[in-house]
Amino acid sequence: MSERRPELSLVFPVFDEEENIGRLLDEAVALAPRLAAEFEIVVVDDGSRDGSASVVDRLRERDPRIRLLRHAANRGYGAALRAGLREARGELVFFSDADLQFDLDELATLLSHAREFDVVAGYREPRRDPWGRLVLAWGWGTLVNRLFGLGVRDIDCAFKVFRRPVIEAIPIASVGAFINTEILVRARQAGFRIHQVPVSHRRRRHGRQSGARPRVILRALIELATLYRELRRRPDGQPVLGGES
């Protein structure tokens, strides 16, 4: 791999995605050269119990632009994504999930806006989740936008591009699913420009979703409350958030 900073990093957090990760990486390796002369793919295996890491190992033997970070035990989605974002060296840093719910080709659309905006966030249009998850997503989005005044229509859409200064400037504390919200809130608070674009969405074919589990939701609510308390008032005691005090 070149010692100079690549133009683009693609980051994929992985947990028990043996049936999906091979196809995803094949698609990424085929797509990335059309988008950037120099790129890297960073996979973070978050303590998978299946053969996900073995699949990645085989693929990176053929292509050194694929990098693998491994957590000995499952630390949580946010911890895995945070590790990948911190490890990424690209001038532009993209992340998505490894469950094949998105069309990687649409990364080109996000990158077309990345010169003008600091964060380009996809939103699922239409969103093809079961109705129960759609209700949860609506409630979560309403709560977050009310508390933080964020104005983002699909906060947890795992299809985003960041310019390098965003990654270097904002602290990330979340270890759970709240990480998407935290990144966007901190980026907006720091004055970075956020642009939203529609992206295609499809249902997961293999594996199980974990975002609606009670433990995941509880952790997200705890992390939300922690960030709200942190950002609610500036050091001089004046409110800084868009939500009600």
Encode pLDDT of 8-63 as tens digits: 999 999 999 999 999 999 999 999 999 999 999 999 999 999 999 999 999 999 99
Distance separating alpha carbons of residues 65 and 71, to the nearest angstrom? 20
Q: Write down all domains in the chain, each with its CATH number in brackets.
A: 8-231 (3.90.550.10)
How many other C-beta atoms can be found within 10 angstroms of the C-beta atom of residue 151?
A: 11
110 contact partners, CB below 8 Å, separation of at least 6: 94, 120, 122, 159, 160, 161, 197, 199
Does the pLDDT value for residue 158 go beyond 70?
yes
Q: Which residue has the higher pLDDT, 205 or 147?
A: 147
Q: Is the peptide bond before 126 cis (omega within 30 degrees of 0)?
A: yes
pTM, two decimal places = 0.90
Contact present, 6 and 67 (Cβ < 8 Å): no
